[in-house]
Amino acid sequence: MEPLDLELEEGELELPSEPMHLNMGPAHPAMHGTVRCVLELSGETIMKADVQIGYLHRGFEKMCERGTWAQVFPYADRLNYVSPMLNNVGYALAVEKLCGIEVPERCQWYRMALGELARISDHLTCTGAMAMELGAFTPFLWFVKARDMIWDILEEETGARLTHSFGRIGGMAAPPTDAFKELCKGSLERVVTLMEEGESMLLKNRIFLDRLEGIGQISGEEAVALSWTGPCLRASGVPYDVRRAYPYLKYDEVEFDVPVGTNGDNLDRFLVRLQEIRQSRRIIEQVIEKMADDGPINAYAPGVMLPEKHDVYTTIEATIQHFKLVMEGAKVPKGEVYSYTEGGNGELGFYLVSDGSGTPYRVRIRPPCYPIVGGLQKLITGRMLSDIIPTFGSLNMIGGECDH
C-alpha cells in the first residue's frame, strides 16, 4: 500500500493542528467493490478525499485477447456481476454488429426480457445494500428475497444463478423454457410487492431520509461533464437512456418511461432505481405478450454458430463446423466496432477490433461506473465522514467492470 501523503508543515506549533488522515477501504465492509478512500479530516468533515480504484483489477481486456471470440462471454459475465446478462448481451451485440448478423425476433425479445430481469436484480442489490449499510437490515433482506426470485427465473432459463455465460454470437445458448412466461408473470408481481414493502419502510424513516436528502448532490451539467450515464445521470435530471436515445433490440417497440430526478442527490438516485424496477417490469410484461412461443432463437450463421450437438455426433459437416469453431474460433471480419447498450449502471460500451482471425485483436470496454466513481471525490469533499456510506452506495460501484 502506498504511503499517505502527509504534507505536514513542521514549523507550525498550533494545537491541535494536525489533520486526521483516515484510510477507508479497500477492505472496509461498506466500500464494496474494494475501493480505497484516503481522507483528510477536520473533525468529522472531509477536507480532502482521494479515491483509489484498482483493487479488483484482473486484466479483463487482455484476458479476452487470448482466447476465441466466444470465450469472452464468461469474462463478460464477471464485469458487472450483479447483472451479468446485460454484459453478455452487450458483448454479443457488439460482435454481431461486426459480423453483420441480426438475430431472429424471438431472440431479440428473449434477450430484452432476460436483460430487464438482470436490471431489476442489479437495482435491488444496489438499493438493498445501500439501506443495509445505513442500518436498515430488514429492507435489505426483503430486497434480496425479491432478487432471489429473479435469480430463480434466470437459473431455470440458464442453469446458473449468477454467472450465466448464456449469450452467444448470433443467438443464445438455449431457447426460452416452456415455463418462462409463467415464471415471469408469477414472480414479477411478488418482486414488486416485496420491493414496495421495503420501500415503504424506508421512505417514512426520518433517519434514512436525513442521510440521503441533499447529500451527494450533483447537477446535470456536472454529471454530463464527468460523462456519467445511467440511473446516476438520470437522477440529476438528464433523461439519457440508451434504450430510448439509441434503441437496440426491440426497445423502440415497447412502452416505458425514463424516470428522472430533480436534485441529483442520494435520495434521487435511490428513487430513480426503484422507479426503473417498475419500468422494467412493464417492459417484461410487454415482451411476454409479444415474444413468439416458437421459432428460431439463433441466427443462421454457420461461420460463427455452433451446430446442434446431435448433428456433431452423426454428420461430418457438423463435426467439421464444431471443430473449426472450437479449435480456431469464429472468424470475425476484419474491422472495428463500438457498440453500446444500457447496462445496470449506464452506457456499457464495447470497442472491438478484429484482424480477421479467430481471436479478438482488441477488446476495450467502457464500463459505466468508471466515470461515475471518478465523481465520488467531488461528491464527498466537504461532507461528513458518515455521508460517504450512502453516497458511495448510491453510485453502485462494481469493481468487476470499473477495474479494467
Partner 1 sequence: MPSFKLDGKPIPFEPGESIIAAARKAGVEIPHYCWHPGLSAPANCRMCLVEIKPPAGQRPIQLDVLSLDPKSGEYTYQPKPKLQPACQYPAVDGQEVLSDSSSHVGDARKAVQELLLLNHPVDCPICDQSGECKLQDYWLEHQKTQKRMRDEPIHKPKAVVFGPTIVYDAERCVMCTRCIRFMEEVAKDPVLDMRERGNLNEIMVAPGRQLDGNYTLMTEHVCPVGALTATDFRFKARVWFLRSVKSVCQGCATACNAWLDYDPRNNAVYRYRPRENAEVNKFWMCDPGMLSYKRAHEGRITEPRIAGKTTTVAKALESAKQHFEGVPREAIAIVFHARYSNEDNWALKELALTLLGTRMFYRSGGAPGTGDDILINADKNSNTAGVNQLAPSARPFADLLADIKKGAVTHAIALGGATPGEPETDLAELRNLKGLVTISAHDGPLTKAAAVVLPAASWAEAGGTYTNAKGLRQISEKAIEPAGSSQPAWKFLAELGKTLGVVPSWSKLKDIRARLLAVEMPSQPDVSAQAE
Q: Which stretch binds partner 1 (CB under 8 A): 113-121, 315-323, 336-344, 390-398?
A: 315-323
Q: Give least dist CB 84 to partner 1, A.
A: 30
End-to-end Cα separation, the chain, in angstroms: 20
Does residue number 359 form part of the binding site for partner 1 (CB under 8 A)? no
Candidate list 154, 318, 379, 388; residue touching partner 1; CB under 8 A: 318
Put residue 333 in one of left, alpha, beta given phi > 0 → left and psi -120 to 50 → alpha.
Answer: beta
Q: What is the DSSP string of 28-70?
A: -TTSTTT-EEEEEEETTEEEEEEEE--TT---HHHHHTTS-SG
CA-to-CA separations, 105 to 91, 110, 184, 253, 290, in angstroms, rounded: 18, 9, 19, 12, 10
Which three-class secondary structure state does DSSP give residue 348?
Answer: strand
Task: Write the interaction track for partner 1 spanning residues 267-306; mark x where CB under 8 A is met and - where it is not.
Answer: -----------------------------------xx---
| Cβ distance to partner 1 smaller for residue 155 or 311 | 311
Measured between alpha carbons, how far is 93 from 112 in angstroms, rounded to an integer? 12
CB of 296 to partner 1, least distance (A): 15
212-221 burial string, b = 16+ CB within 10 Å, else e? beebbbbebe
Least Å distance, CB 326 to partner 1, is 10
What is the closest distance, in whole angstroms, from the C-beta atom of residue 308 to partner 1 in the complex? 10
Backbone angles phi, psi at 278, to 5 degrees: -65, -40
Give the integer Cα–Cα distance in Å for 394 and 232: 8
| Residue 67 is a binding residue for partner 1 (CB under 8 A) | no
Stretch in the footprint of partner 1 (CB under 8 A) among 76-84, 171-179, 310-318, 334-342: 310-318
Q: Does 327 sit near partner 1 (CB under 8 A)?
A: yes
> Mapping DSSP to helix (H, G, I), strand (E, B) and coil, where does residue 24 land?
strand
Q: Which of 156, 317, 336, 355 contacts partner 1 by CB under 8 A?
A: 317
Place of cell 477536507: 47
- Shortest distance in whole angstroms from residue 98 CB to partner 1: 18
The answer to whether residue 324 forms part of the interface with partner 1 (CB under 8 A) is yes
222 binds partner 1 (CB under 8 A): no
Q: Least distance to partner 1 from the beta carbon of 147, Å? A: 43
Task: Pick the closest to residue 279 from 237, 244, 228 (CA basis).
Answer: 244
> Does 313 sit near partner 1 (CB under 8 A)?
yes
C-beta closer to partner 1: residue 138 or 315: 315
Q: Is 315 near partner 1 (CB under 8 A)?
A: yes
Size of the site for partner 1 (CB under 8 A): 16
| Closer of 198 and 329 to partner 1 (Cβ) | 329
321 near partner 1 (CB under 8 A) = yes
Contact between 42 and partner 1 per CB under 8 A? no
Which residue, 50 or 308, has its beta carbon nearer to partner 1?
308
CA–CA dist 142, 120 (Å, integer): 14
Closest to partner 1 by CB, 18 or 308: 308
- Exposure string (b/e) for 141-171, b if CB count within 10 Å is 16 or more? ebbbbbbbbbbebbeebbeeeebbbbbbbbb
C-alpha separations of 379 from 47, 54, 272 in Å: 12, 20, 18
Q: Pick from 45, 71, 227, 319 the residue near partner 1 by CB under 8 A.
A: 319
Dihedral sign for Cα 217, 54, 118, 72, please.
positive
Interaction site with partner 1 (CB under 8 A) = 302-303, 311, 313-321, 323-324, 327, 331
